[in-house]
Structures are given as C-alpha cells and as structure tokens.
Amino acid sequence: MQPTASRLHLGNYEGALKNWVRLQNEYEMFCFVADWHALTTMIEKTENIRENSLRVAADFLAAGIDPEKSTVFLQSAVKEHAELYVLFSMVTPLGWLERVPTFKENREKLSGEAEASHGLLGYPVLQAVDILIYKPYGVPVGKDQVPHLEITREIARRFNYLFGDVFPEIQNVLSDTPLLMGTDGRKMSKTYGNTIDLFETDEETTKKIKTAYTDPLKIHKNDPGHPEGCSVFALHAVYNKPNAAVVEKECRAGERGCVSCKQECTSALLETLAPLRKRRQEIESDPRSVENALKKGAERAREVASQTLVEVRKAMKLS
Ligand code: SF4
C-alpha cells in the first residue's frame, strides 16, 4: 500500500486490509508500505512520505494486522529490493513496460512540461521485485487487479528462462470483496470525495451518513423505496447483514423512513468499527509500537530477501 496523503477509507478496508487480516491466519504474510513507489507521484513533496508511511503502518496494525504473525515493514528499509530492481531491469524488455496501460494513463496525466520519469516506466519492475523477492505462493488481489500481476509473472518466467528456475509462478489469492458505494451513490473513492474513512471520528461518520444519498423518489416515510441505488442500504448490506433483508423489505413496502434507517445504519457501522478505532487511538498514544513492529518486520523481510538475492546472483553467475 502506498503512503499517500489520503486516509484509508472503508472501500480500502473491505477491498484489501480485511482480507489480509483473515489471511494472516492461513499464510505467512508480508505487508509493506510502498514508500519508494510513492516517489513516482510525490517527488515534489518527499517531506511527507515518512510521516504518511508511519501512519499507513499504524493503520495496518489498528486494522488487525498482527506483527507477531505478519511481517510489516517499509519497502525502503529492505535495500535488497533495489538490487533486484537493477537486475530485473536488465531482463525486462522495454516494450513490455511501454505497453502497460497505467503507464500510458499516468503519462497523459502529467501536466505542462513535466516528463515521465524512468521510475514511472519502471514501476511494474519494482512491483515485480516487491512480490518475487519473497518467492511467495501468491498475492491477495481483487478480481480487477488480476491483470496487474501478469507482468510480474512474465518477468519471473523470463528470468527463469534465462538463468534457471529461481522464481515461482505466483497465484492470485482471490477474495470476494464487496464494491462499496460512497455517500453520493457512486463507487467509494477519494477522487469523488464520497468516502467514509476508517479512522475518522464517530461524529464525522454520523454526519456523513446523515447527508448520504438515498432514493430520491422516497420523500415520505410511507413512499415505497428502491434500496438498490441507495448508499445507506449498501452500508446496511455490509455492516448490518443480519437485518439487511428486513431493511430492504420495509423500504420497498414504505414501512420505514430514511431518517431512522440512517440512524440504524450508523449504529451498526460504528459498532463494527469501534474496536479498530479504539486500537488506533492506543497506537497513537504509543508511536514506538509502530516503529518497533517496522524494525522487527524489516529484519525478517531482509532475512528472506537476502537469501533470494544469494540464489539470484548464483543463477546469474554474479556471485
Ligand atoms: S429507507 Fe433506508 S434503504 Fe430505503 S431509501 Fe431510505 S435510507 Fe435507503
């Protein structure tokens, strides 16, 4: 996860972190903050990267990533990533990188005289390093992210073809992630400014739900409603699961009003988030706990990464 300025929202939590928390009981997980990757978009504001990185790491821990079970670290603390990046850069054909759709999109987004950097072009190579250096079984991804892993597989295959089998064929560890609707009825995204943030205050969450988009045709309590397009119902479906069928039935039948429906939704959501928000406050009052987890995580990550580098140098006859 990149240490951008924006805070984690419920969409990020449901789409990624919640699954990581579950998966750490089944796999050895490596969860890192991609602070070098952030340089591709934050080169003019580098002074914020460290603070943002620590915040993201604190978010990991508050969300339930347990540093006793999972390896949590900053990408820049494991210099082996840089060495493998150089070596992978030599085996990756330029054409592969120029064809990556996100490179084209990001280049078009650059304003004025700004030119795309070598780092922006090489982003997928560094991403392949971040994954393959731990020789993992797989990567937890949502269905829409599956194509992003393909270039990692291609780089691994090309390396293995040139130097012998070092890297595994990584698997997609797919998870069912609900697509969360934002408070304006569109997909929850920081771009639309319609997010409910994981670690905002309960008051902020309450206020957002109070003004959230509902069925515009349902004006009075006894008007029949259409929950399918309602952002509040979308939250009921995830955070008030046991009652979601009743909410839907009563809404359609004109037996519930939007005001009380929003109150019920807020209570269910706040109850779910309470332990996470409490843990976040505890972590904030003890910042050393994050630094200690990152230090321990970097040591474990380096142990694995340096062993992979030994194998890589040997395969390339560089040792
Ligand atoms: S009653 Fe609830 S589900 Fe129905 S439109 Fe109002 S807020 Fe949405």
On whether residue 193 sits in a domain, the answer given is no
**Strand (E) or helix (H) holding 32:** strand 30-33
On whether residue 21 sits in a domain, the answer given is yes
User: Which amino acid, residue 99?
Assistant: R
Residues 211, 94 share a domain: no
Residues 294 and 57: beta-carbon distance below 8 Å = yes
Pocket test for ligand 1, best of 232, 260, 264 (most atoms within 8 A of CB): 232
Mean pLDDT by 10 residues, the chain (319 residues): 84 89 95 91 84 93 95 97 98 92 76 76 94 96 82 97 97 80 92 94 97 94 94 95 96 96 98 96 93 97 98 95
Residues 254, 142 share a domain: no
Q: Give the separation between CA 225 and CA 214, rounded to whole angstroms.
A: 9
pLDDT attached to residue 130? 97
CATH number at residue 93: 3.40.50.620
pLDDT attached to residue 112? 61
pLDDT attached to residue 191? 87
Residues 213, 139 share a domain: no
Which entry of 109, 207, 210, 241 is annotated as an active-site residue? 109
What range does the domain containing 29 cover? Answer: 10-179+287-315
Residues 259, 116 share a domain: no
Residues 85, 39 share a domain: yes
pLDDT attached to residue 113? 61
On whether residue 195 sits in a domain, the answer given is no
Residues 66 and 288: beta-carbon distance below 8 Å = no
On whether residue 275 sits in a domain, the answer given is yes
Asked if residue 233 has its Cβ within 6 Å of ligand 1, the reply is yes
Residues 52, 102 share a domain: yes
Residues 29 and 23: beta-carbon distance below 8 Å = yes
CB atoms within 10 A of CB 214: 21
How many structural domains compose the chain? 2
Q: For residues 63-84, b (16+ Cβ closer than 10 Å) or e, as one string? A: bbbebeebbbbbbbbbebbebb
Q: For residues 257-272, b (16+ Cβ closer than 10 Å) or e, as one string? A: bbeebbebbbebbeee
Residues 182 and 195: beta-carbon distance below 8 Å = yes
On whether residue 161 sits in a domain, the answer given is yes
The token pair at 21 is 């928390």
Maximum CA extent, the chain = 76
Residues 224, 141 share a domain: no
On whether residue 191 sits in a domain, the answer given is no
CATH number at residue 255: 1.10.240.10
HSE-CB at 40 with a 13 A cutoff on CA atoms is 19
Taking alpha carbons only, the member of 281, 276, 287 closest to residue 64 is: 276
Residues 60 and 17: beta-carbon distance below 8 Å = yes
Pocket test for ligand 1, best of 209, 211, 233, 240 (most atoms within 8 A of CB): 233
Nearest CA to ligand 1 atom 4: 251
pLDDT attached to residue 247? 97
Residues 221, 148 share a domain: no
Please confirm, yes or no, whether 187 is among the known catalytic residues.
Answer: yes
Q: What is the distance in A from the centroid of ligand 1 to the CA of 264?
A: 11
Residues 226, 101 share a domain: no
On whether residue 184 sits in a domain, the answer given is no
The token pair at 134 is 């731990």
Residues 299, 272 share a domain: no
Please name the residue that has the structure tokens 């914020």. Answer: 48
On whether residue 304 sits in a domain, the answer given is yes
Please confirm, yes or no, whether 190 is among the known catalytic residues.
Answer: yes
CB atoms within 10 A of CB 22: 12
Residues 110, 226 share a domain: no
DSSP 174-193: E------B-TTSSB--GGGT
Asked if residue 234 has its Cβ within 6 Å of ligand 1, the reply is no
Q: What is the position in ligand 1's atom list of the atom closest to the CA of 250? A: 1
Residues 251, 118 share a domain: no
Taking alpha carbons only, the member of 9, 5, 32 closest to residue 20 is: 32
